[in-house]
Amino acid sequence: MANDANSAEGGLEAPTRHPLDWKEPDFYDEQALFSELERVYDICHGCRRCVSLCNAFPTLFDLVDESNTMEVDGVDKKDYWAVVDQCYLCDLCYLTKCPYVPPHEWNVDFPHLMLRAKAVKHEQHGATTRDKLLTATDMVGSIASIPIVAEVVNKSNELKPVRNLLEATLGIHAQAPLPKFSSKSARKRVMQQDAGAVKVQATAQTTGRLGVFLTCYGNRNAPQTVEDMVAILKHNKVDVGLTESERCCGMPKLELGDLKAVEKLKDQNIPKLMKLVRRGYDLTAPIPSCVLMYKQELPLMFPDDEDVQTVAKAFFDPFEYLMLRHREQQLDLKFAQSLGKVAYHVPCHQRVQKIGPKTKEVLELVPDTEVTLIERCSGHDGTYAVKKENYAHAQKICRPVVSRVEQAAADHFISDCPMAGELIEHGMSEGRATSAFSLLRRAYGI
């Protein structure tokens, strides 16, 4: 057991992250990996504080409890992969539960250990056809958003025979909600909005110019969300710019362990984001996972890349940006109507940005508006919930969130992650998810 009388229980220092040494040869050494997995699994087994977060920890603890020794040394090492497969890198164990994260001497970073294991597995075996397809967001999106194709794809995904076929051939669960594709992209919608002349007003922490990284999901699957976000920014006298083009941020490939693909996407996106930064723009994105990718994951993967670090410093969650401007009286508080009661699910990848519930704070600036906060994982997490082998686990993780939304008896239900919102909506008896941008736009009457 890793625990001993001389080791401190937790620590008082703020957690820190070490760079991911993914280009070092030892990173892919399976023997070294399994030695570290055993060490960390042993610490987790002795603690068990994370048992309620996701299915990775129950999987680990069941393996231990069902072994001959009832300790980690009794678990067959080939079964270590079962734990890895259940981790979807939400980062909540690191941020909210683990008392042994660095700078503690035990140096436990469970998500990055799982990422290393996924990378080793990908290096050895590659990805399945299904996983390649699910993470090829640019290719699938560009084809599926063609006007006639989008309608066919959306209707086909609602047909039981088609869904049964997808489950039988690819392992995409027949009941899992799949994203809809729009033939009118967010880029087209934003370009059609009235640009207008903006007198830029900088604040201590914002330039008043905001470059939007549309994201593959925002551009083709949730264009209304992006359109509403840009309308709100322009209403508040923020000069909005777009990258000239963009590829996927890399989060789906990161979750797959395909770190080389992440680097290729980084090499395409960072120069375009830097063009905006050099022109005096701050940066944002409508999807929390994409914001986190630029704020945290890429900087840890490429600690010596100055452009990556510069982009990270320029990146904001959109509601974080609005609140920073509000603090210096640069947010319009003239609202046309209240929003009543709002049930608000906070996505994991927004929580781990350590910015606080900024969406809630902005919405509650609207008079007679009450926001109920739900800080619990939805279980969607990228591609996890649509896979045949994970769908039931995702539903179990999501059930408490659904219960809290229904108990709130709110006028509106939102999540900053549209994919999480769809999975929560999928489990509800009635009601539809909307976006915070849509509600704020309604409150402004614009």
Q: Give pLDDT tens digits for 115-134.
A: 999 999 999 999 999 999 99
Residue 279: the pLDDT is 96
Sequence letter at residue 375: E
HSE (side-chain half, CA atoms, 13 Å) at 255: 26
Separation CA 347–CA 372 (nearest Å):
14
Q: Which of 325, 332, 340, 327 is nearest to 414 (CA)?
A: 340
Tracing tokens 């909307």 back to the chain, one arrives at: 434
pLDDT at 25: 87
Show the low-confidence residues of the chain (pLDDT under 70): 1-12, 195-197
Tallying the residues shown for the chain, one arrives at: 446
Asked if residues 144 and 179 have their Cβ atoms less than 8 Å apart, the reply is no
Task: For residues 183 and 387, give the distance between their C-alpha atoms in angstroms, rounded to a whole number.
Answer: 26
Strands (E) across 322-380 are located at 340-345, 369-374
By the 8 A CB rule, do 388 and 172 touch?
Answer: yes
**Containing H/E element for 262?**
helix 259-278
Q: CB under 8 Å to 98, separation ≥6 — which residues?
A: 47, 49, 50, 108, 110
CA 297, CA 291: separation in Å to the nearest integer? 10
The predicted model scores a pTM of 0.92
What is the model's pLDDT at position 164? Answer: 96
First to last CA, the chain: 60
* pLDDT score of 10: 61
The class (CATH top level) of 334-444 is: alpha beta
**Sign of dihedral through CA atoms 334, 337, 340, 342?**
negative
Contact indicator for 372, 359 with CB cutoff of 8 Å: no
Asked whether the beta carbons of 340 and 370 are under 8 A apart, the reply is yes
Residue from 317, 321, 256 nearest 289 by CA:
317
Contacts of residue 71, defined as CB under 8 A and 6 or more positions apart, other chains included, come to: 1, 42, 45, 64
For 194-221, what is each residue's pLDDT tens digit? 766 678 899 999 999 999 999 999 999 9
User: Tokens 């399994």 label which residue?
Assistant: 34
